[in-house]
Amino acid sequence: MEYRTLGRTGIKVSPYCLGAMMFGAMGNPDHDDSIRIIHRALDAGVNFVDTADVYSQGESEEIVGKALKGRRDDVVLATKVHGGMGEDPNRAGNSRRWIVAEVENSLRRLQTDHIDLYQVHRPSPDTDVEETLSALTDLVRSGKVRAVGSSTFPASEIVEAQWIAERRGYERFRTEQPPYSIVNRGIEREVLPACERYGMGTLVWSPLAMGLLTGRYRKGQETDSPRMSFAPGRLTHERKLDVVEQLIPLAEKAGLSMVHLAMAFAVAHPGVTSAIIGPRTMEHLDDLLAGAEVTLDDEVLDRIDEIVPPGTDVDPGDVSYAPPAIEHARLRRRPAEERAAA
């Protein structure tokens, strides 16, 4: 497996990153089976593992910690902070108070004394990014964290964080973790160019579009997949299913499965360092690994561009972070009395 440099950190990582979201109650509750899956990935040359505190409320980190016993030094270990870890409103977000406390919990669950890449899982509009970067800088200087990154940040906030880090002398975000797939190409417009400009590595998530690009979901066909209840709207969107119907013959003509076509597309972009795979079973992992060496020629990539134009999301509503100005109507409307007086 050829390794790539993670931004300008000098850290070498595999083009596939093993995502651990499906290990634990959210996916595969069998710890021993999940550990076997992690070991199989490591044995195949995957040296990059990504999890988060919020995945199964810490259970995923615990599984990863057990799996890496005796192999920790050979793995680039990434986790994330931001999501709620209980009913207390202060056990979430991007405040110094929470970051400094939660990193200790993650270190304990992961059974390690350091995290190679500590990522802020989502932006937090109620917290100055300066506050967040200040806390992360202290973690790097203390040796508990080697590098820091963001996840699903808009391009404008990526740039703002870089400017503040330079101005204040803080540790800067070295990576970004955005969603990216054939049907979710919006990051090609601004996020990936911004990351390339600042030398940030990218580990893209959901390259299979939550399973849509496996080819299991077809127009006019019903499926009993558990993912249907997890995100039904994303897997039954008419326009996205239209795209799948066009991609299936393209994959067949290229002699590829849909999974291998989708994964090869995700890692073909020069701005993408690594694509996160999220197997729930050994069968899923083996299928993904079988296509690790697949590359797409220009003819196939040109045809994908015709089906889904570069820089576009097939479903504009299929986003994982909506800024406050979009989420809250009150921020898009003048007060009623002001409108009435106009």
Q: Which residues of 128-139 are buried (b: 16+ CB within 10 A; e: fewer)?
A: ebeebbbbbbbb
Whether pLDDT at 226 is above 70? no
* 13, β-bridge pairs: 4
Question: Do the beta carbons of residue 252 and residue 303 sit within 8 Å?
Answer: no
pLDDT at 55: 98
| pLDDT above 90: percentage of residues in the chain | 85
pLDDT at 335: 83
DSSP summary character for residue 240 = H
Whether pLDDT at 8 is above 90? yes
- Name the least confident of 3-17, 154-168, 320-334: 320-334
Whether pLDDT at 300 is above 90? yes
Average the pLDDT over 296-320 and give the result. Answer: 93
Whether pLDDT at 228 is above 50? no
Q: How far apart are the first and last CA of the chain?
A: 65
Among residues 183, 217, 176, the alpha carbon closest in space to that of 318 is found at 183
Catalytic, out of 16, 55, 118, 170 = 55
* 149, β-bridge pairs: 119, 175
pLDDT at 231: 60
pLDDT tens, 139-193? 999 999 999 999 999 999 999 999 999 999 999 999 999 999 999 999 999 999 9
Long-range contacts of range 323-330, CB-CB < 8 Å, 24 or more positions apart?
323/123, 323/125, 323/154, 324/125
Q: What is the largest CA-CA distance in the chain?
A: 70
Nearest 5°: phi and psi at 152? 60, 40
pLDDT tens, 256-287? 999 999 999 999 999 999 999 999 999 999 99
Question: Do the beta carbons of residue 159 and residue 191 sit within 8 Å?
Answer: no
Active site residue 198: no
- Name the least confident of 3-17, 57-71, 285-299, 305-319: 305-319
How high does pLDDT run on average in the chain? 94
pLDDT at 332: 87
Instruction: Please report, for residues 112, 144, 145, the alpha-carbon distance to residue 166 in angstroms, rounded to integers and kept in the order given.
Output: 30, 22, 19
pLDDT tier, 334 (very low <50, low <70, confident <90, very high otherwise): confident
How far is Cα 41 from Cα 282, in angstroms, rounded to an integer? 9
Average the pLDDT over 238-262 and give the result. Answer: 96
How far is Cα 313 from Cα 318, in angstroms, rounded to an integer? 8
The fold for domain 4-341 equals TIM Barrel (3.20.20)
pLDDT tens, 88-139? 999 999 999 999 999 999 999 999 999 999 999 999 999 999 999 999 999 9
Where are the chain's structural domains? Answer: 4-341
pTM over 0.85: yes
